[in-house]
């Protein structure tokens, strides 16, 4: 995933573009560049490395002009080098393009363009767009862009400038998010709202097929048939403070510590204690449609997939519906029979993950009703689903997903409660779940107080090369999630495994070097997990246990005990995950890793 920005107005574009790129750097950060137009010419400055490297170069040698485009990259085609950084230009340097997405037929287009005399300077798919636009007939830039895009297969969110048409930016969207920021006599382009919030709250989310034209005093949007469209102007609901580091050293720690508030925000206005159910206005599911649901399929990736595994336990228990949880990418590789009564849940923090989006589209095409469990308002998955639940957890900037995970579990519980109460779940049980949900924010606050102990554990084990995370039942997905957190920000190898499965092979790994993290809240499988701990201890393994506060019989069985408050067993993952998030964070910090921009990763993977 990459970040694109654009500006046209009366102010100098350079600083505005740089600030926007900084806000989008979590989307990709291996190289960055801007093009700034000044009259009938534009200048390009682009460098490998972070946005700061570009900012330092521009501080030494600024680019003057009141319109421009910019890009921060997560490389897909071509190494992360200065040459491959965006913006890309055509042969004559008269067209500049920044692009988020993948041009799938780039090779064929490049070959045809080269045969007609175009000369390429990079290995990227994006450069093909610049030459296509150069070659396209048309009297205006928007006409040429539309003609060029008609030949493209793939996904794009692009912003284009032409030296022949000063103070104009043409924007197009197909499969990669792009929005317009509507200011006072100035207009912005961005991949997401965080890049424009400092200037305006008013945004227009473009639809697939839209082409927008921005000039210094107006903008308009055309659909794929070049008909001018009136697109709704939305207001960004959160404040700048939500995307500022504040007193925290990293966004990941800020977002871990925000979870009492973000879970409260996910619950806000949705718990009906008297009726022992949830109010979910965006489901667009009638009582009749609800009665017709015979099974649920969850499609997701990464952390969201782990939340889906937790959700399966919760929905099966409360709503008595069978649930299958699929890796979104794998779901699409099977020709599953369409089963009437299937409700598909697409879980995605960003709402832009290509694998999940395509899996949701496949489910829809097979006749399933689809709901999005999404954090980013206006994202593609949210817009294409039949209904859904917004997490309202605020922007998640840290590449490692944390607050979204707990809010996803809470949202899935609300859905399970709503479904369950229409399918025989008792009033008393519904009221109990509602009360337990309401207590979660204060329980999370208590779990966060474990941080000093967790930091000590991290310091004790920072040199280990591999960790095993074990859990049973609803705690098994928490073990998977704890392992993923560790891998993606500390680069330590870790594996999540069902605790009982450990003795069917992985136990061979246990030795005095292998820390084993057990997710062991006091629930109905607790005693069995104790046996697994003994199996590890008997082989010299180091045991770190996440368990429930209060009396426990772990005695000398464990080397480190991290105790979280008691809650309903189904909700324990919201609490047991907290020390594991902190453990991954502190291990990464001790190891000097770039916590918010881990190598090779990007916040949302908008390529398949």
CB 102 within 8 A of CB 125: yes
| Spatial distance between the Cα atoms of 214 and 228, rounded to a whole number of angstroms | 13
Number of residues that bind ligand AGP (CB under 6 A): 15
Structure tokens at 95: 């067209």
Among 46, 254, 403, 603, the active-site one is 603
Residue nearer to ligand AGP on the CB measure, 166 or 378: 378
Smallest gap from Cβ 356 to ligand AGP, in A, equals 5
Residue nearer to ligand AGP on the CB measure, 65 or 302: 302
Residue nearer to ligand AGP on the CB measure, 97 or 193: 193
Identify the residue among 440, 604, 606, 607 touching ligand AGP (CB under 6 A): 604
| Spatial distance between the Cα atoms of 272 and 230, rounded to a whole number of angstroms | 38
Smallest gap from Cβ 304 to ligand AGP, in A, equals 4
Binding mask 346-385 for ligand AGP (x = CB under 6 A): --xxx--x--x-----------------------------
Residue nearer to ligand AGP on the CB measure, 19 or 352: 352
Query: Which range touches ligand AGP (CB under 6 A), out of 110-118, 139-147, 297-305, 442-450?
Result: 297-305
Is residue 90 near ligand AGP by the rule CB under 6 A?
A: no
Helix (H) or strand (E) holding 379: none
Instruction: Write the DSSP symbol of residue 168.
Output: E
Query: Which range touches ligand AGP (CB under 6 A), out of 247-255, 342-350, 455-463, 541-549?
Result: 342-350
CB 564 within 8 A of CB 301: no
Identify the residue among 149, 170, 252, 400 touching ligand AGP (CB under 6 A): 400
Report the DSSP pairing between strands 295-300 and 277-278: unpaired
- The CA–CA distances, whole Å, from 429 to 280, 408, 525, 606 equal 18, 21, 21, 40
Query: Is 532 in a helix, a strand, or coil?
Result: helix
Report the DSSP pairing between strands 342-348 and 369-374: parallel
Smallest gap from Cβ 374 to ligand AGP, in A, equals 8
Which residues in 4-16 are b (16+ Cβ under 10 Å) and which e? bbbbbbeebbbeb
Which residues in 251-276 are b (16+ Cβ under 10 Å) and which e? bbbbbbbbbbebbbbbbeebbbeeeb
Residue nearer to ligand AGP on the CB measure, 66 or 379: 379
Is residue 605 near ligand AGP by the rule CB under 6 A?
A: yes
Identify the residue among 33, 101, 157, 302 touching ligand AGP (CB under 6 A): 302
Q: Is 257 a catalytic site residue? A: no
Give the footprint of ligand AGP on residues 486-525 (CB under 6 A): 488
Q: Is 603 a catalytic site residue? A: yes
CB 542 within 8 A of CB 559: yes
Instruction: Write the DSSP symbol of residue 475.
Output: G
Is residue 303 near ligand AGP by the rule CB under 6 A?
A: yes
Residue nearer to ligand AGP on the CB measure, 109 or 325: 325
Active-site residue set = 2, 603
Residues that bind ligand AGP (CB under 6 A): 301-304, 348-350, 353, 356, 399-401, 488, 604-605
């Amino acid at each position: 995933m990459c970040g694109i920005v654009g500006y046209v107005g009366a102010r100098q574009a350079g600083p505005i573009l740089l600030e926007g790129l900084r806000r989008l750097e979590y989307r990709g950060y291996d190289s960055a560049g801007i093009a700034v137009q000044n009259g009938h010419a534009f200048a390009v400055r682009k460098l490998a490395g972070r946005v700061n490297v570009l900012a330092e170069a521009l501080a030494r040698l600024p680019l003057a002009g009141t319109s421009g485009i910019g890009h921060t990259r997560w490389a897909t085609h071509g190494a992360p080098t200065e040459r491959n950084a965006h913006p890309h230009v055509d042969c004559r340097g008269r067209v500049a393009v920044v692009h988020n997405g993948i041009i799938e037929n780039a090779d064929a287009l490049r070959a045809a363009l080269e045969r007609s005399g175009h000369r390429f300077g990079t290995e990227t798919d994006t450069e093909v767009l610049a030459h296509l636009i150069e070659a396209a007939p048309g009297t205006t830039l928007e006409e040429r862009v539309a003609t060029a895009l008609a030949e493209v297969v793939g996904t794009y969110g692009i912003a284009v400038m032409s030296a022949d048409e000063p103070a104009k930016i043409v924007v197009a969207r197909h499969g990669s998010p792009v929005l317009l920021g509507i200011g006072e006599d100035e207009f912005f382009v961005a991949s997401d709202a965080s890049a424009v919030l400092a200037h305006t709250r008013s945004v227009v989310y473009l639809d697939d097929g839209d082409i927008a034209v921005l000039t210094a005093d107006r903008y308009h949007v055309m659909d794929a048939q070049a008909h001018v469209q009136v697109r709704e102007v939305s207001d960004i609901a959160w404040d700048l403070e939500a995307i500022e580091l504040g007193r925290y050293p990293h966004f990941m720690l800020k977002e871990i510590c925000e979870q009492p508030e973000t879970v409260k925000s996910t619950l806000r206005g949705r718990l009906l204690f008297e009726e022992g159910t949830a109010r979910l206005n965006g489901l667009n599911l009638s009582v009749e449609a609800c009665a017709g649901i015979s099974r649920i399929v969850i499609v997701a990736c990464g952390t969201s997939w782990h939340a889906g595994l937790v959700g399966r336990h919760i929905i099966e228990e409360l709503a008595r519906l069978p649930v299958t949880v699929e890796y979104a990418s794998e779901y699409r590789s099977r020709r599953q029979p369409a089963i009437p009564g299937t409700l598909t849940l697409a879980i995605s923090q960003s709402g832009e993950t290509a694998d999940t989006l395509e899996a949701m589209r496949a489910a829809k095409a097979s006749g399933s009703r689809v709901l999005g469990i999404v954090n980013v308002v206006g994202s593609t998955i949210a817009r294409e689903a039949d209904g859904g639940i917004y997490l309202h957890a605020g922007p998640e900037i840290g590449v490692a997903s944390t607050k979204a995970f707990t809010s996803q579990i809470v949202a899935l519980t609300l859905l399970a409660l709503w479904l369950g109460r229409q399918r025989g779940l008792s009033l008393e049980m519904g009221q109990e779940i509602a009360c337990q949900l309401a207590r979660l924010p204060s329980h999370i606050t208590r779990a966060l107080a474990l941080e000093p102990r967790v930091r000590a554990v991290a310091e004790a084990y920072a040199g280990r090369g591999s960790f095993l995370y074990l859990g049973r039942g609803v705690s098994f997905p928490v073990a998977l999630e704890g392992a993923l957190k560790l891998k993606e920000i500390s680069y330590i190898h870790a594996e999540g495994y069902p605790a009982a499965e450990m003795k069917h092979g992985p136990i061979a790994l246990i030795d005095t070097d292998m820390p084993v993290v057990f997710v062991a809240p006091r629930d109905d499988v607790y005693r069995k997990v104790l046996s697994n701990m003994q199996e590890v201890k008997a082989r010299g393994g180091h045991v770190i246990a996440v368990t429930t506060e209060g009396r426990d019989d772990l005695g000398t069985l464990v080397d480190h005990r991290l105790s979280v408050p008691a809650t309903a067993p189904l909700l324990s993952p919201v609490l047991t995950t907290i020390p594991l998030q902190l453990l991954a964070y502190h291990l990464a910090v001790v190891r000097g890793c770039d916590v918010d921009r881990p190598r090779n990763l990007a916040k949302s993977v908008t390529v398949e």
